[in-house]
Structure 1
Amino acid sequence: MGVIRNLEGLNRLSRTAWLVLGLICIGVVGYVDIMTGYEVGFSLFYLIPIVLVSWFGGSPLGLTIAMAGAVTWGVADVLAGAKYSSHWILVWNSFIRLTFFFVTVFSVKEAKELDREKHFSRIDYTTGAMNSRFFRVLAEREMHRSVRSRHPFTTAYIDLDNFKTINDVFGHAIGDEVLRTVAASMQQNLRKTDLVARMGGDEFVVLLPEVGLETAAGVTSKLHQKLTSEMEKHGWPTTFSIGVVTFTEVPRSVDEMLSVADGAMYSVKHGSKNSIRYAEFSPAIGSEALPLRAHPSL
């Protein structure tokens, strides 16, 4: 189903559009089937619209296209010149084909459910950002890659200031909207190769592969400005405390990486808030002695 996932933009089509498109495709396949003769196998081409309609339009539409496909296939056989010793053979063949198509529809349904479960096992339901579990998997891969390439990477730990006030004053629905807006803004203003995850509550983590401290300062400063602008545009009294740590040497584990970045963030959280602090990780120094500095423009 990997090819189908690459066509997710087709989800924008309505159910009616999928029904019409499916019937047209079945009609075209049936016509070509007649023209090429009954001796040429065409079962695969009947399956294509059935699978696509089942995936994007849903099982009920898929069953409709399956029935249309089975009927069209039988009619095409007759019009193409196929001879049967009894009309019951045609009925039986059509029944077998219909059963096969129905099994295909329900198989697609199961595959889609599994794909959905896999998606939500990796993605935070509220924000659409990756969840902490999947982030840890990808972060570990990035750490291994950093060992091989000997390139640095940077982790930013982001906490939403005053988020509890948002929930208390505006309600949890608005609180969820704030989280979605923050996640969307991060994804829009970072590279596709950067990792954005919600760690839980009002905390997010960003991992910037192959980014040193100087570049990270520019990236996170711009991100802070974009996030602040989004909050001001909606009238939400939320600011951002951000701890940014560049790892020129790979930490022992993802937990250590997160702990160091979390410590940098909390140094802002327990200070002035709404600021960024930077550090370079050194195993020799340890996370307790990180040379943090506030962003000069904040």
Structure 2
Amino acid sequence: MLADQLRRASISPYAPVVALIIAVPIFAFIVTAEHVTAYELGFGSFYLLVILAVGWFCGLPWATLFAFLSMFAQVEIGRSNESPMVADPLYFYLSNGNRLVAYLMVAWLISIIRTLYRRENEMARFDYLTGIPNKLGFDEQLKVEIVRHRRDRNPFAVAYLDCDNFKAVNDALGHDGGDRLLKTIAQTARANLRATDTIARLGGDEFAVILPGTGEFAALQAMNKLRKVLVSIIEKNRRPVTFSIGVGVFLDAPENVDFVISFADNIMYEVKEGGKNKVLHRLYMSEKTEADRPARAGAR
């Protein structure tokens, strides 16, 4: 839970600004405290904590700046308080030079860890085979869409897509042939959807699509077009694969991500049971919206 909160905080667009707003007064407090105590308590480790925090949330340039500021502050404090070390200038400046090297090393290391951490988190949200989002990436994007819907009340649609007879491809061509087909499906879907849409591989031969700001007619039109394009490409490769697509159109905010996926998945299974290779949709709405719809239709 803490790791997830840290991840979300570190990738927030406001994180660098907030981190600097917090870091600057803390840094000023450390400098003031060290000046008042005249080096007696030793605040080197506290400077390191500031550099670590700034490096994590703001990146290497800011961490480097705070490393130099820390060294400069300690030099000036030593000179103003007439530290015994100042009596030997060579020792004094070498000592502070070593501190600077240590601070810069910490800034560099935390920037590397930050980069690797972000890369690992990004990779964890994408399917290694197709390069499109996986179940985790899909769930996160769907959460964003649900929140957006609650704010602006625009409908959205989620389509659940299953490859009919995919096992026959695996049996005939092996897993390499099946993998090539999955890549083709992902690339074709991505090329035939809007930039704002999200196509994800949920696992095996099952895919899902998020269509933001999309109502009933537009969702059906988009998914029928996608199914026809996919079938056309697959037929050119002489594969016995077709596509069953269940589309949930949400006029009201659903309970949660799992409900949305289950809703679209159930519609897809209706397609499977009804002969496969077509698009079927259902509307999701609250009881209040459902009661209002006939009245609105009559008013028109």
- TM-score, length-scaled by structure 1: 0.59
> Quick one: which amino acid aligns to residue 135 of structure 2?
S
Q: Secondary structure at the match of 2:200?
A: strand
Gaps of 5+ in 1: 3-50, 52-95, 286-298
Could you say which residue in structure 2 is the equivalent of 1:258?
Answer: 261
1:208 aligns with 2:211: yes
Match of 1:241 among 238, 244, 252: 244
Residues 98 and 173 (structure 1 numbering): CA distance in 2 closer, same or farther, change over 3 Å?
A: farther
Distance in 1 (CA, whole Å) between partners of 2:177 and 2:286 is 41
Asked if residue 150 in structure 1 is aligned to residue 153 in structure 2, the reply is yes
Instruction: Classify the secondary structure of the residue corresponding to 1:158.
Output: strand
Question: Per-residue deviation at 1:107?
Answer: 6.5
Instruction: List alignment gaps of at least 5 residues for structure 2.
Output: 1-9, 12-59, 61-98, 289-300
Deviation at 1:234, TM superposition (A): 2.2
Q: Corresponding residue for 1:225? A: 228
Letter in 2 for 1:197: A
Change (3 A) 1:226 1:98: farther
Counting only pairs closer than 5 Å after superposition, residues 1-298 of structure 1 correspond to structure 2 as 110-284=113-287
Q: In the TM superposition, what whole-angstrom CA distance separates every residue of 1:168-213 from its partner, at most 9, and x where no partner exists? A: 1111011111111111111111112111111111111101001001
Q: Deviations over 1:114-146 (max 9, x none)?
A: 333122111011111111112112111111111
How many positions carry a matched residue from both structures? 205
Distance 1:189 1:147 in 2: 28
Runs of 4+ with deviation above 4 angstroms: 96-112
**2:101, 2:155 → 1: CA distance?**
58
2:43 alignment partner in structure 1:
none
DSSP 3-state at the match of 2:116: helix
SS at 1:251's partner residue?
coil
Cα distance change of structure 1 residues 97 and 134 upon mapping to structure 2, 3 Å threshold = same
Task: For 1:237, give the aligned amino acid.
Answer: P
More helix by share: 2
Give the letter for the 2:151 counterpart.
R
- Which residue of structure 1 lines up, in the alignment, with residue 86 of structure 2? none
TM-score by length of 2: 0.59
Distance 2:256 2:103 in 1: 50
Distance 1:177 1:101 in 2: 47
Match of 2:95 in 1: none
- The offset of 1:284, in angstroms, is 3.5
Deviation at 1:218, TM superposition (A): 1.1
